[in-house]
Amino acid sequence: MPVILEAVQLTKQYQEYTALRQLSLSIDTGEIFCLLGQNGAGKTTTINLFLGFLEASEGKALINGIEVRPNSNATRQHIAYIPEVVQLYGNLSGIENLDFFSRLAGFTYSKQELAAFLQKAGLQQEANSKRLAAYSKGMRQKVAIAIALAKNATVIFMDEPTSGLDPRATAEFTAICKELAAAGKTIFMATHDIFNAVNLGSRIGIMKQGSLVHTVHTSGISATELQQLYLETI
Amino acid sequence: MYLLAFSNFIRSRSVLIAITLFLVTGVISLYIGSRFLQKQQAAVEAVTQLQQAQIERNVKNVPDQFGLLMYYLRFAYINKPDPLAALAIGQQDINNSIQYLTVRGLEGQRYDTGLFNPYNQLTGNLDLSFVILFLFPLLIIAFNFNVLSQEAEEGTWPLVRIQAGSAMRFIVQKLSIRLIVVLGLLLILLALAVVIVPVPLNSKLLMFSVTSVLYIVFWFAVSFLIIALRYSSAISALLLLSCWVLLCLLGPAMVNSYLTARYPVQEAYSTFLKQRDGYHTKWDADKDKTMEPFFKHYPQFSRYVWNSPKFNYMWYYAMQQAGDDEAAGDSKAMQNKLRQRQQLAEKFACWIAPMQAQLALTDIAGTGLQQQQQFLDSTAAFHESTKLHFYPRIFTDGAVSAENWAQHVPRYFKATAAMVPLFAMMPLLVFTLILGATGVVIFRRKGAAYTFQG
């Protein structure tokens, strides 16, 4: 499978503090890559560098072969983002939020198409027209997934997406992610959830103090072994 | 997307409350302006009837002495307010807009004004121009201060950044929705003005509207610049309110203090004294000394007989003229200083947008100081022409019944705009462009700020 995400000696320095140290990484199309690490390990910094929110101090981040900076607008066309807490517009309904963010990305869909995206993301139909203020965290995430689907993004970045979700919502979310990967989408996820990472990911990276210390394939490791490795690493 | 963004904005309860509040305030301001105009029109109608009645009464009471009759008769010269004055009352409620004059000395009559509402001189009127100049910026600040910071603070900004091609275009679109709402509010109020006041649909209303739109756009440019600096909502609100205080309150107050100090108008008092002394001292002076300057002023009347043994009205009106002539220097100096104040105020106004817009709006409505000065100058010309009409009749003691009194109806002042308001608004336009361009540069430099370290 072709490489879709690549980090080359990627470094982010804040004066004396190094948030990310010479990260080199390649991720193939259709892969689910999970980054594990404590708070401050550099997971979100890595995502923000790929999203183009931060400028690398050294090295480069590439999406589909295009360097993110200074081509953020070009690379953004390929990506979607699901933050830890999905915040949308409270005065709009779920379907209106989806419509709004799709149009923002340059896509215009009919109501039926928008409803189909929401259904595919797992949102119950009766919630479509309710204002966002009445949505749970899981429901908001489903709208964010629908936004990613509507954008037809090839890479979806997720920052601790299962944090705060109940077990059922987590299971639903995992199933949707697997469907996305099966459909050829690449998922790059930062998480604290070791068991979900093993269950969901194809590869797992463990970060410590801004460095990627281990990269393991989930096919060759159990959750218990990964937990052991993680605890030894941090 | 525009419609959805508009829905998101307009569905906010606080936005609806703000719009309703401003709509109500605007309607109240129109009602106040309409009442002012009605009062002015009632005064014009009253003085028209009064002039006719007092001419009839005095002609009946003094049928055989033209000079004595003219001592009493008054002639109205009216600065009839344009209907647009209801939207920008300016100084028209504290300055006299009706001069009710005899042919006696002018200086003693010119500043006899019906100063019935000094309180308004301090606070100004709650007319539509007040709403536009001072309250609309507050609405604009309330709508705009958190256009970007709210996205960051409520967590929608990262998703917007990923989805939107251009962050700046997104913010400009948000601002343009708010601009449309504010302009819509202005349009509704102007439409209501056409119905309530009623203000005619003419070029003046168009100029008033264009000036108001420019002023509103200026405040949006100020907002955009502050937004581009990417401060938190609290800091952005503070900065914008500071701009409002500086531009709407402190700036004009400082300019006013400076102008008053630089051009003190002592002549207002000395003109009054010289006019009174010039006239009253002549009662005891040699008549020749009174008549000599009078004939110098009006050589065409030197052939009339003035030194008859009985009381002579030519001598009496020459004494009145002496008062005006002796006060003329001070009167002119005072007018010049007021003009200098106005001219310097206009120069300062180029740097202070609310002052500039206020001068333009009152100029369009014909209620500014400039028009009042024009009216006072024109009053002198009216007084002079009235004198020149009656002097020969007085000096020859003509027959009162021979005069066609029906022709002496009130005359109306017609103002000529001293500046082209749209041209006068050029500095505001330039500032708006500079602020907008600076905002664009800063916004681009800041890039995709509002991200967080992991």
Q: Annotate B110-158 with three-state secondary structure.
A: HCCCCCCCHHHHHHCCCCHHHHHHHHHHHHHHHHHCCCCHHHHHCCCHH
Return d(Cα B297, Cα B291) in angstroms, integer. Answer: 10
pLDDT band at A112 (very low <50, low <70, confident <90, very high): very high
Give the mutation candidate from B9, B13, B159 for the A interface (greatest A CB count, under 10 A).
Answer: B159
- Percent of chain A clearing pLDDT 70 (strictly above): 100
Average pLDDT, integer, range B407-423: 78
Inter-chain residue contact A72 with B448, CB threshold 8 Å: yes
- Asked if the structure places residue B50 within a domain, the reply is yes
Residue B137 has pLDDT above 90, yes or no: yes
Q: For B425-437, what is each residue's pLDDT tens digit?
A: 889 999 999 999 9
Return d(Cα B296, Cα A141) in angstroms, integer. Answer: 96
Ramachandran area for residue B432 (φ above 0: left; ψ -120 to 50: alpha; else beta)? alpha
Q: Which of B326, B317, B318, B309 is nearest to B291 (CA)?
A: B318
pLDDT at A196: 86
Highest mean pLDDT among A22-31, A160-169, B110-119: A22-31
Q: Check if B3 contacts A (Cβ < 8 Å).
A: no
DSSP category for residue A179: H
Q: Does domain A1-78+156-234 have CATH number 3.90.1150.10?
A: no
- Asked if the structure places residue B386 within a domain, the reply is yes
Give the mutation candidate from A89, A97, A129 for the B interface (greatest B CB count, under 10 A).
Answer: A89
Residue A167 has pLDDT above 60, yes or no: yes
The residues that bridge with B63 in the sheet, in sequence order, are none
Residue B309 has pLDDT above 80, yes or no: no
Number of domains forming the structure of chain B:
1
Q: Check if A152 contacts B (Cβ < 8 Å).
A: no
Residue B454 has pLDDT above 50, yes or no: no
List own/partner pairs for B231-239 with CB under 8 A and 24 or more apart.
B231/B149, B232/B149, B232/B153, B233/B145, B233/B146, B233/B149, B233/B150, B233/B153, B236/B145, B236/B146, B236/B149, B237/B141, B237/B145, B237/B146
**Pick from B5, B155, B164: which is nearest to A83 by CB?**
B155
| Closest-CA residue of chain B to A100 | B1
Return d(Cα B113, Cα B90) in angstroms, integer. Answer: 16
Residue B306 has pLDDT above 90, yes or no: no
Average pLDDT, integer, range A30-40: 92
Average pLDDT for chain B: 89
In chain A, residues with a C-beta closer than 8 Å to the C-beta of B162 are: 51, 76, 79-81
pLDDT at A233: 83
- Percent of chain A clearing pLDDT 90 (strictly above): 56
- Asked if the structure places residue B454 within a domain, the reply is no
pLDDT at B453: 32
pLDDT at A164: 77
pLDDT band at B71 (very low <50, low <70, confident <90, very high): very high
Q: Looking at chain A from residue 60 to 99, which residues have their Cβ under 8 Å from any Cβ of chain B?
A: 72-73, 76, 79-81, 83, 85-89, 91-92, 96, 99
Average pLDDT, integer, range A188-193: 91
Q: Looking at chain A from residue 172 to 211, which residues have their Cβ under 8 Å from any Cβ of chain B?
A: 190
Cβ B305 vs Cβ B140: under 8 Å: no
In chain B, residues with a C-beta closer than 8 Å to the C-beta of A80 are: 162
Return d(Cα B133, Cα B244) in angstroms, integer. Answer: 10
Residue B114 has pLDDT above 60, yes or no: no
Cβ A97 vs Cβ A88: under 8 Å: yes
- Asked if the structure places residue B451 within a domain, the reply is no
Highest mean pLDDT among A190-199, B94-103, B212-221: B212-221
- Asked if the structure places residue B58 within a domain, the reply is yes
pLDDT at B133: 96
Cβ B337 vs Cβ B268: under 8 Å: no
Higher pLDDT, residue B267 or A81: A81
Q: Check if B154 contacts A (Cβ < 8 Å).
A: yes
Average pLDDT, integer, range B57-73: 93
Residue B420 has pLDDT above 70, yes or no: no
Inter-chain residue contact B163 with A88, CB threshold 8 Å: no
Q: Which of B102, B105, B74, B72 is nearest to B294 (CA)?
A: B105
B15/chain A closest Cα distance in angstroms: 12
Residue A194 has pLDDT above 80, yes or no: yes
Q: What are phi and psi of B405, to 5 degrees?
A: -70, -25
Q: In what order do the strands lie in the sheet with A3-14?
A: A17-28, A3-14, A58-63, A66-67
pLDDT at B207: 92
| Structure tokens, A209 | 């103090």
Q: What are phi and psi of A201, to 5 degrees?
A: -75, 155
Parse chain A into domains and list their residue ranges. Answer: 1-78+156-234, 88-153
Return d(Cα B253, Cα B161) in angstroms, integer. Answer: 43
Residue B16 has pLDDT above 90, yes or no: yes
Inter-chain residue contact A91 with B453, CB threshold 8 Å: no
Return d(Cα A155, Cα B285) in angstroms, integer. Answer: 105
Inter-chain residue contact A91 with B158, CB threshold 8 Å: no
- Asked if the structure places residue B274 within a domain, the reply is yes
pLDDT at B97: 85
Inter-chain residue contact A81 with B158, CB threshold 8 Å: yes
Residue B115 belongs to domain spanning: 2-446
